[in-house]
Structure 1
């Protein structure tokens, strides 16, 4: 029966398209599971002790960032194993491990237990990066922009739509029950990946894995690759600077009246709708006019959308500008993945994408800490000003890296 189901779903599809379909659903569900806690994480922290406003912002930032601190260090290890043992194995490890860890978060009794579990969650990272690496190695280079752009909508849309589901679950059930449900969702991802993802993996036969220096030597233009790593870090820092205090900002705008958790979930989720529709089209457009151009346009548009968020007096205006930021995400995130794919030989793709995940994790870690520090010292609106500055710095970085590559080509 399973064989018949596969034939029905994948009829007349190329092998890379088959993987794209399966991995899209896997990354969507994984992204949704990861972000379900976003609307209420700071509110959950508030139930674990008696905290001042500054302490609540601080602990919320630490709790959110703890996962990514560990991820930044372990990702290269998983990347090396992915290149020698296969990306599918890493996908299974990540989804199964996080299923149990996230479920356990519903059982904590104090803030330190929650922070510890968030750190352990970081140890089981790697589903998204290995999904990207697996697809990148088996997709024709001329189709990589379309494929990776489409795949990014799975994670990004799940990651940004997840808060809506999390807000609904927390509103109608409880914070703790939502963690149990999230763990169950990741367990479903594990089984989907186990049965439906197929990798034609051929490990490179060598006495020992390539060293970091040897991997860099395989790259045609290491400067552009490392420039994209830094770009990934800043994009993620910008996107996540508001994350730990988003529900607190929504509560302030609503003056504490009404279903704060549910509305916070809507505000956190609306960028996913824009990203879902914009990323594949912008990724395909990048294949025709140049991925770097799409990336630059995304930066400029994001700057124009972040600044007004600091001055809104309505939660629905905040939601509107968040929606527009989703369009810029649809331009930036797939563009970076496509640039890395086109400049990475297949034998080191796993390492390159794992390094990129480390920088992504550093951005995910530093963004909330910056947001917490700024909101604790000033106010919630000031976080958006600091975020626009980060995006502007990223835009300058991309321009510098692009010019260096052009000079080398000439």
Structure 2
């Protein structure tokens, strides 16, 4: 009966999760274009201080999200994932609406911290989809979810650029709060989580032994997850300046195109690469994508025209799109059900670490050593990621005989 239920509900669950993740990510990134204006509106007047406070306010959400992701993952393992999504969507709806009421810069920063603390819808949705989807379809489903998340981060700044002139900054926050509230209602009313079988008390030490066997691939995936977001974000701060050096006519527009191209590529490829991974094995796809990304970074360091960078970033996005869904699938298949949420939570934290460190490193290298160096360093990191993945791939994945029942269920037994 459970299996039938699972078959019935997983597609609806996926639709709800994609909608919820899409709206919450829009809310997290919405304020990028007008954040400096809001900071100024809250009484910060010095131009340097405005830039500094904008950075602090923006980063605050990701910092608190990184710190709490494993905790929410663990609570999800214990009390059910649907409950975590209800908490995240309601929490985000309240936090976003409160940001619209901020009176000074400290309140803004604290509320942004609160949004990250209460949020985590996208990572919760990843865990729910990874654990509730039939294993043979998990790569494809996680790819679709990943496309929704990336579409949200692409649409967020665009909406944030369009709304404030029409409705005002504070109303923009109220609107996004209302939108997330709709996601909260959809989650509470439409999502069906299949109850997990009760664990037998006898097997108390069994999962532990299992974890000990499988930790190498999981740790490798944490490293790769961090590298992927690091590589993606390391060139964000230097793109505008790099384009100036290349003599771009309309720098801000071209920078927007370059950033959007990578996201668009990922949106296009995520579910397709996920489907491919379900067929040929997730490990192969991760190694292939990392190698492709590393190779594509070489011409990015050598471009002479702005349009070349746009095309290369699109291709880079196509290569990177399959990585995070496949990483989630590998982690999901390498650990026992009871700790899947916690481990995927750590994976989310690793991604946030890359998201925070990437721009810092890229900005520093670009400013002190030169723009093109950033691409070379990122290329080396991607190649390193491919090597780490190849070394960490369990030998058991290739052999039929023993151990990884989870892997076999996912159709991994024919991975060489």
Tell me whether the two structures share a fold, i.e. TM-score over 0.5.
Answer: yes
Residues 237-260 of structure 1: per-residue CA shift (max 9 Å, x gap): 2222244566x5489579998694
Quote how far apart the aligned CAs of 1:383 are. 4.1
**Could you list the runs of 5+ residues in structure 1 that have no partner in the other structure?**
1-12
Aligned length: 390
Looking at structure 2, the residues matched to 311 and 167 of structure 1 have their Cα atoms a distance apart, in angstroms, of: 32
Larger radius of gyration: 2
Q: CA 1:255–1:64 in 2, change beyond 3 Å: closer, same or farther?
A: farther
Residue 365 of structure 2 corresponds to which residue in structure 1?
374
Aligned residues of 2:225 and 2:327 also touching (Cα < 8 A): yes
Of 220, 227, 243, the residue aligned with 2:220 is 227
Quote how far apart the aligned CAs of 1:327 are. 0.6
Residue 9 of structure 1 corresponds to which residue in structure 2?
none
Quote how far apart the aligned CAs of 1:46 are. 7.9
1:333 is aligned to 2:327: no
Residues 144-167 of structure 1: per-residue CA shift (max 9 Å, x gap): 222222222221232234333333
1:147 is aligned to 2:141: yes
Q: CA 1:98–1:249 in 2, change beyond 3 Å: closer, same or farther?
A: farther
Looking at structure 2, the residues matched to 317 and 363 of structure 1 have their Cα atoms a distance apart, in angstroms, of: 26
Looking at structure 1, the residues matched to 304 and 65 of structure 2 have their Cα atoms a distance apart, in angstroms, of: 36
**Could you list the runs of 5+ residues in structure 2 that have no partner in the other structure?**
1-6, 403-416
Q: CA 1:177–1:108 in 2, change beyond 3 Å: closer, same or farther?
A: same
Find the residue that maps to 1:221 and give its secondary structure: helix
Aligned residues of 1:253 and 1:315 also touching (Cα < 8 A): no
Quote how far apart the aligned CAs of 1:355 are. 1.8
Of 287, 300, 311, the residue aligned with 1:320 is 311
Query: Where do 1:41-52 residues align within 5 Å?
Result: 41=35, 48-52=44-48
Please provide the CA RMSD for this pair: 3.7
Quote how far apart the aligned CAs of 1:230 are. 1.5
Residue 388 of structure 1 corresponds to which residue in structure 2?
379
Looking at structure 1, the residues matched to 206 and 292 of structure 2 have their Cα atoms a distance apart, in angstroms, of: 38
Quote how far apart the aligned CAs of 1:91 are. 0.8
Mean alpha-carbon deviation: is it higher for 331-340 or for 69-78? 69-78
Aligned residues of 1:224 and 1:401 also touching (Cα < 8 A): yes
Residue 341 of structure 2 corresponds to which residue in structure 1?
350
Aligned residues of 2:93 and 2:180 also touching (Cα < 8 A): yes
Residue 64 of structure 2 corresponds to which residue in structure 1?
70
Quote how far apart the aligned CAs of 1:90 are. 0.9
Query: Which structure is richer in relative contact order (CA contacts within 8 A, separation 6 or more)?
Result: 1
Quote how far apart the aligned CAs of 1:223 are. 0.9
Of 82, 89, 113, the residue aligned with 1:88 is 82
Q: CA 1:205–1:287 in 2, change beyond 3 Å: closer, same or farther?
A: closer
Looking at structure 2, the residues matched to 321 and 170 of structure 1 have their Cα atoms a distance apart, in angstroms, of: 32
Residue 35 of structure 1 corresponds to which residue in structure 2?
29
Q: CA 1:257–1:81 in 2, change beyond 3 Å: closer, same or farther?
A: same
Q: CA 1:117–1:392 in 2, change beyond 3 Å: closer, same or farther?
A: farther
Residue 364 of structure 1 corresponds to which residue in structure 2?
355
Q: CA 1:302–1:33 in 2, change beyond 3 Å: closer, same or farther?
A: farther
Of 184, 194, 207, the residue aligned with 2:178 is 184
Residues 113-155 of structure 1: per-residue CA shift (max 9 Å, x gap): 4443332222123212221222222222222222222222221
Residue 26 of structure 1 corresponds to which residue in structure 2?
20
1:169 is aligned to 2:163: yes
